[in-house]
Amino acid sequence: MSVKPTNLRDLRASGWVSKTVKQEIHDNFIRLLAARDELFPGVVGYEDTVIPEINIAILAEHDMLFLGEKGQAKSRLMRGLSRFLDDAIPFIDIPEAPFHDDPYAPISRVCREFVDSHQEDEVPIGWWPRADRYAERLSPGTKFADIIGEIDPGKLVGGVSMSAEQALHFGLIPRMHRGIFAMNELPELDELVQVGLFNILEERDVQIRGYPIRFDIDVLILFSANPATYNRSGKVIPQLKDRIGSVIHTHYPRDRDLGIQIMQQEANISLDGDFPVAVPYFMREIVEQITIQARKSKYIDQQSGVSARFSIANYRTMVASARHRGIVLGEKPAVPRISDFGHLYASSLGKLELDLMGSHQMSERQVLDAVVAEAIRIVFEEYIDKHGLAEISEIFGRGVKLEVGDMMPSARYAELLKRVPPVWDKAFEVNAAEDPAVRASCVEFVLAGLYALDRISRSQHHGRMTYEVE
Question: Which three-class secondary structure state does DSSP give residue 91?
Answer: strand
Residue 425: pLDDT band (50, 70, 90) is low
What is the C-alpha to C-alpha distance for residues 125 and 11, in angstroms, rounded to an integer? Answer: 8
Can you give the pTM of this predicted structure? 0.84
The CA angle 226-232-237, to the nearest 5 degrees, is: 95
For residues 289 and 284, what is the distance between their CA atoms, to the nearest angstrom? 9
Residue 89, helix vs strand vs coil: strand
| Dihedral pair phi/psi, residue 196, rounded to 5° | -60, -35
pLDDT at residue 424 tops 80: no
Cα three-residue angle 458-462-465, rounded to 5 degrees: 20
CB 342 within 8 A of CB 348: no
Structural domains in the chain, CATH included, are 8-249 (3.40.50.300), 256-468 (no CATH)
Pairwise CA distance, residues 434 & 437, whole Å: 9
The C-alpha atoms of residue 331 and residue 317 are separated, in whole angstroms, by 18
pLDDT 10s digits, 207-257:
665 555 667 889 999 999 999 889 887 789 888 898 899 999 999 999 999
Distance (Å, rounded) from C-alpha 468 to C-alpha 415?
Answer: 17
Predicted local distance difference test score (pLDDT) of residue 464: 77
Q: How confident is the model at residue 121, as a pLDDT?
A: 95
Strands 464-468 and 219-225, bridge-based pairing: unpaired
pLDDT, position 140: 81
**Closest to 81 in 3D by CA, of 93, 95, 94, 64:** 64
pLDDT digits (tens, 9 = 90+) for 23-62: 999 999 999 999 999 999 989 999 999 999 999 999 999 9
Percent of the chain with pLDDT over 90: 51
In the chain the first and final C-alpha atoms are separated, in Å, by 78
- Check pLDDT > 60 for residue 467: yes
Q: Inform me whether the pLDDT recorded for 19 exceeds 90.
A: yes
For residues 279-297, give the mean pLDDT.
94
Nearest to 256 by CA among 225, 226, 217, 291: 291
| Integer Cα distance of 441 and 436 in angstroms | 9
For residue 227, say if its preceding peptide bond is cis, omega within 30 degrees of 0: no
Q: What confidence tier does 285 reach under pLDDT thresholds 50, 70, 90?
A: very high
CA–CA gap between residue 456 and residue 466 (Å, rounded):
10
Residue, of 384 and 293, whose pLDDT is higher: 293
Backbone φ, ψ for residue 96 (5° rounding): -80, -15
Average pLDDT of span 420-429: 62
Amino acid 26: pLDDT? 98
State residue 47 phi and psi, 5-degree precision. -60, -35
d(CA 329, CA 422): 28
Q: Which residue has the higher pLDDT, 356 or 282?
A: 282
Q: Given this model, what pLDDT does residue 120 score? A: 94
The average confidence (pLDDT) of the chain is: 86
